[in-house]
Structure formats: structure tokens, C-alpha cells
Amino acid sequence: MRDDDKIHYRPASTSVDNRKGDGVSPGGLVAGSERPGFRRRLRQALTLRPGAARPGRTTIALASAAACCLGLVTVVELRTPDEGSAAADSSAASTELLRRAEQEHASRGLARTPSAPSATPSPSASTAPAPTPAAEKTAPGKSTPTKKPTPRKPVDPAPVAGLTVAQMNNAKKIVRTGRAMGVPRRALVIAVATAMQESNLYNLASGALPESQNHPNQGLGWDHDSVGLFQQRASMGWGTVAQLMDPAYATRKFLTTLLAVPGWQQMRLTDAAQAVQVSGFPEAYAQHESRATVIVAAIVAPAT
């Protein structure tokens, strides 16, 4: 090795804590790299002095050793003088190597803190769209509220069996009053047939009883003081004149008396009606049985 290739360095001085070796050893190892003044002396050792020859292989090896001690792996490409490299290029490479070594050394002393998580969600973390209220299901154990059905209005059937509108309306009052009482259909047929015989299904006042004419009526009858659909008499204890002129009251009075007759369900229609009315023509009610059956069926069917 030529004298020009020797490393010019200052002898290691004693540090504040009286420890030696705060510099570069002749063997090329970096000692006390963590002590104060190391980087300054390393820079001086790698800097070319005026008039000095280019750094030789020893200088580059020393810089490489220092970089390795600091955790920096560097590949240095050596060029021969034949390739025309100048001393300034070697000096620049040494300076750059030192700078990178210092940066790496400084980065080792920094506190390592985890970086903040990325704000961009990963594909696996994508959330599914929220279900719409329409797709929502009823939780187990809970019943869904059901809308109550609207009660169906009773249908008024057209007149049947040759009746007028007024007669059919009176027949409806008899049938619906009896259904409200819960009587059998047979009792409804007997009631309609009796009214057909007594008043021809009209709500009659009495020409012999002027008081009855003060109430809504559909004509006059002349059988003593008999009034209403069933020609019931106030003088015989059936009720007051005002009560007997009410079709609903007159119907309830007739059916209550019929249900009290023993065995009425097994009787002929005319016999059952006669047991209630005590008429002078006991067989007259039988002629209306077939028509009364059709009328009751027409009124009951739409309401069922």
C-alpha cells in the first residue's frame, strides 16, 4: 500500500466518561458508534484533503464497515483507474454513503409507532345494504296485526212471492226481529204466515179505535180493537195501543207466546198459529205456509 493510500485520522481521544476508542480503529472496525463525535470524525476520515490522492480500497472498506455496523447494506462498485474515474467521483460516493449511514443511524433512534389504519375499507369489510322495511320479517313469537274485517251490511232482497215493497219490508221486520231473539226458522215461517192472514202483511190501525190512527200505519182494519201486523187487541192484555202498532214489539209478543205453547214444533203450522191467535177461522193460516217459507228463505239467505 502506498503512503498516499494511508488513512489520515486523528488519534482517538478520551471521551467525557474517560472511555477510549471513540473513533475508527486501524483494523477498519467502527468502535463507539453511539458515542458523541463519532459522525464528525467519520466524516473527516472520509473527506479528501487538498492535494491528497483518491481514496483507496482501504478507505472504501472502512466506510462499508461503518455502514454495516449501522445496519446499512451497501454495494460499492469499484472502478479501476483505467475506467477514467476521477478523485471527485470517489469523494462524492463516500459522502453519499456517509449521509445514508447517518440517516439510517438516526432512524434507529426514533420511536417506532404504528401507523394509523387506512380509511379505505377493505373489500371483505364492505357492509351489505340495510334491508328495506318491506323486506323485514316479523320476529318469532310476535303476531302481525290483522285488520278487522268490515261488518257486511245486510242485503235487502227484492220482493218475492208476489209481495209489494211495503209488504216485503214488514216481512223483513218480522224475520230480523225473530233472528235477534234466536228462534228457529220454523217459528219465523209461522209468524210470517200468521201476519199474512191477519193483516195481509200491512201495519193496520183500527177504524173502531181512533187512538191507533195517531201512530204510523198503512191502512185501517175493522175487527173490533185489533191493530198492527198480528191484529192484537189491547183490551185482551197484549199491550198498549202504541206498543201494538210497533212491528218489532208485536212480533216479539207473538213469538214469545208461540214458544210457550207445548209441542208447537211438532204441530201443523195452522194449529200452532191458532194456539196463539185463537181465531174464529183456525184453518185459514195453512194457505200461506208455502209462500211464507219462500219469503223467510229470501230474507235469511243474504244475511247468513
Q: Give 267's pLDDT tier (boundaries 50, 70, 90).
A: very high
**Does the pLDDT of residue 56 top 60, yes or no?**
no
Greater confidence (194 vs 17) lies with 194
Query: Are the CB atoms for 9 and 45 separated by under 8 Å?
Result: yes
pLDDT digits (tens, 9 = 90+) for 235-256: 999 999 999 999 999 999 999 9
Q: Does residue 82 fall inside a structural domain?
A: no
- Identify whether 141 is part of a domain: no
Quick: pLDDT tens for 84-133: 454 555 566 556 666 665 565 544 444 444 444 444 444 444 455 555 55
Task: Report yes or no on 61 lying in a domain.
Answer: no
Domain around 260? 165-202+247-300
Asked whether residue 42 is assigned to any structural domain, the reply reads: no
In a domain, 182, yes or no: yes
Q: How many whole angstroms separate alpha carbon 151 and alpha carbon 53? A: 116
Decide the pairing of beta strands 205-206 and 220-221.
parallel
Domain membership of residue 31 (yes or no) is: no
Between 141 and 255, the more confident residue is: 255
Ranges of beta strands (E only) in the chain are 205-206, 220-221, 226-227, 232-233
- Per the model's pLDDT, the better-predicted residue between 7 and 282 turns out to be 282
Determine the 3-state secondary structure of 233 from DSSP. strand
Nearest to 251, CA basis, from 157, 301, 196, 176? 176
Please state the domain count of the chain: 1
- Cβ atoms of 13 and 22 within 8 Å: the answer is yes
Measured CA distances, 278 to 15, 129, 193, 246 (Å): 146, 83, 15, 21
Q: pLDDT tens digit string along 154-207?
A: 668 999 999 999 999 999 999 999 999 999 999 999 999 999 999 999 999 999
Report if residue 190 sits inside a domain.
yes
Q: Is residue 252 part of a domain?
A: yes
For 276-293, how does the pLDDT look when each residue is reduced to its tens digit (9 = 90+)? 999 999 999 999 999 999
**What are the contacts of 206-215 at 24+ separation with CB within 8 A?**
209/234, 209/241, 211/241, 212/241, 212/244, 212/245, 215/241, 215/242, 215/245
